[in-house]
Amino acid sequence: MKLTTIKPYPKNAKQHPKKQIEQIAASIKEFGFNQKIVVDKDNVIIVGHGRYEAAKLLGLEDVPVEKVNLNEQQAKAYRLADNKLNESDWDMDLAIGELKGLSSEMFELTGFDKDLLIEPDEKDDEVPDVPDEPKSKLGEIYQLGRHRVMCGDATKKEDVDKLMDGKKADMVFTDPPYFIQGSSTGLEVSDADSKMVEPFFNLFLESIHQNTKWASHLYVCCDWRTYPFIRRITDRLFKNKNLIVWNKGNPTMGVSYRQQYELVAFFSNSKKANSQTGFIGDGKVKKAKYEVKFKERPLNDLSLSNVWDIARVGGKREHFAEKPNELIKRAVQNSSNVDDIILDPFLGSGSTLIACEKTHRICYGMEIDPRYVDVIIDRYEQYSEEKAEKIG
């Protein structure tokens, strides 16, 4: 049947994003048009809207069609049933086994994400020794493959602007100083003292707000002492989504119960319009009286709970706050896509950068301590077998 004679059903409830249409088109091009479009007596589509859009994208004039004689009630039920009854769970072990046997070209045609084939490796959490005398200096910027690292201060707007170079991040994962004994700084302050802690969190969270895309996901590691500061600020800047509990397995020493978990605050850069200015967050200004609706970014895996059982980094740690690669990788894979920019304003020993390298994302990271910038560079070069370059 001529494609121009086929009519889409105007109330089709099944959504077909652009990416999916492109994948269907690629499948048709490689394997042929093997599933017919089903239409009613008036050539209105009952089943096959995705294939119809893919055929338009490919510029096809004729497509295989099956015309069925159904009444209006039957056609409506068939449309919904065809989509709903195709929804089922996968045996992912079997699926991954099949995917591993495909060439990269064939893999692309399946619609599965390459993240599925990423497996943990011993070198993921290997960190070089911290040098006594650093080579890096404050203000310098380094290119590490596709990644960008600056030795600078995450609370200074000019430093963050220099790092981002006009770009905005698609996601944030970061582990700021906790300001307690045993944190990355070793600095200890009273839990009740907000003169230093709250302004610090306010500065870097303001910077994150300005340098991330609308509806992007943000993960900020914290504990029960620092979460109240973060929550007060994020209530103003972001939409709080959840609080993830990272169960580290073996508890540490303690007298008021042994600590076995840390927290990861999860929120998005999708706060509603300010009531006075109508600023939405994507660079557009609307009149405040209008209700403007934006789609939230969904998680890539909706099956995950907010308790993550991931073992801490074992053996000697070069950084007090070093997080396991698997923890960061889970967040990155669930809240971003391949080639997205992931911002970490407290890069530490470079674990976020390694997680990005492993999952084919791009890390933009800030680290204030030149010694740890050296560690990050050494770690990347050992992991990737590529050389870093000073670019500023």
pLDDT digits (tens, 9 = 90+) for 56-79: 999 999 999 999 999 999 999 999
Q: Per-residue pLDDT averaged across 149-162, rounded?
A: 95
Cβ(51)–Cβ(37) under 8 Å?
Answer: yes
Query: What tokens does 1 get?
Result: 């049947």
Name the E strands within the chain: 37-39, 45-47, 65-67, 141-144, 147-151, 169-174, 212-222, 239-247, 261-268, 307-309, 341-344, 362-367, 389-390
pTM, entire model: 0.70
Q: How confident is the model at residue 122 (pLDDT cuts 50, 70, 90)?
A: low
Q: Which residue in this structure is represented by tokens 């070209």?
A: 105
DSSP code of 124?
G
What confidence category does residue 254 fall into, taking pLDDT thresholds of 50, 70 and 90? confident
Average of per-residue pLDDT values in the chain: 84
Task: Provide the residue type at 41 as one letter.
Answer: K
The Cα 118–Cα 79 span in angstroms is 36
pLDDT of res. 183: 40
Do residues 172 and 218 lie in contact, with contact meaning Cβ atoms separated by under 8 Å?
yes
pLDDT digit string, tens, across residues 35-59 = 999 999 999 999 999 999 999 999 9
- Per-residue confidence band for 19, with pLDDT thresholds at 50, 70 and 90: confident
Q: Which of 156-160, 284-288, 333-337 shows the lowest per-residue confidence on average (mean pLDDT)?
A: 284-288
One-letter amino acid identity for 131? Answer: P
Using alpha carbons, list the distances in angstroms from residue 73 to 7, 12, 13: 18, 14, 15
Which superfamily, per CATH, for 127-390?
Vaccinia Virus protein VP39 (3.40.50.150)
3 state DSSP class of 240: strand
* CA nearest to 346, candidates 320, 367, 332, 328: 367
Distances in whole angstroms, Cα of residue 186 to Cα of each of 15, 182, 194, 228, 319:
51, 5, 18, 20, 11
Pairwise CA distance, residues 331 & 348, whole Å? 17
> If DSSP codes are grouped into helix, strand and coil, which group holds residue 163?
helix
Position 294 pLDDT exceeds 60? no
Amino acid residing at 1: M
Residue 102, SS3? coil
Residue-by-residue DSSP string for 166-224: T--EEEEEE-----STTSSS-----TT-HHHHHHHHHHHHHHHHHTEEEEEEEEEEE-T
Top-tier CATH class for 3-88:
alpha beta
pLDDT band at 99 (very low <50, low <70, confident <90, very high): confident
Q: Is a pLDDT exceeding 50 seen at residue 184?
A: no
- Amino acid code (one letter) for 49: H
C-alpha 229/C-alpha 54 separation (Å) is: 50
Q: How confident is the model at residue 95 (pLDDT cuts 50, 70, 90)?
A: confident
- Please answer whether residues 339 and 359 qualify as being in contact, where contact means their C-beta atoms are separated by less than 8 angstroms: no
> Would you list the domain boundaries of the chain?
3-88, 90-118, 127-390
The CA distance from 267 to 240, in Å, is 4
What backbone torsions phi and psi does residue 323 show, to the nearest 5 degrees? -105, 145
Residue in 225, 248, 250 with CA at minimum distance from that of residue 308: 248
Rg (C-alpha) for the chain, rounded Å, is 25
| 153 pLDDT above the threshold of 90 | yes
Percent of the chain whose pLDDT exceeds 90: 58
User: Per-residue confidence at 91, pLDDT binned at 50, 70, 90?
Assistant: confident
- Among 7-16, 173-182, 306-315, the range of highest mean pLDDT: 7-16
Q: Rounded to an integer, what distance in angstroms lies between the CA atom of residue 91 and that of residue 101?
A: 16
pLDDT band at 291; cut points 50, 70, 90: very low
Q: What pLDDT band is residue 116 in, cutting at 50, 70 and 90?
A: low
C-alpha distances in Å from residue 212, one per residue of 3, 7, 58, 208: 42, 41, 35, 6
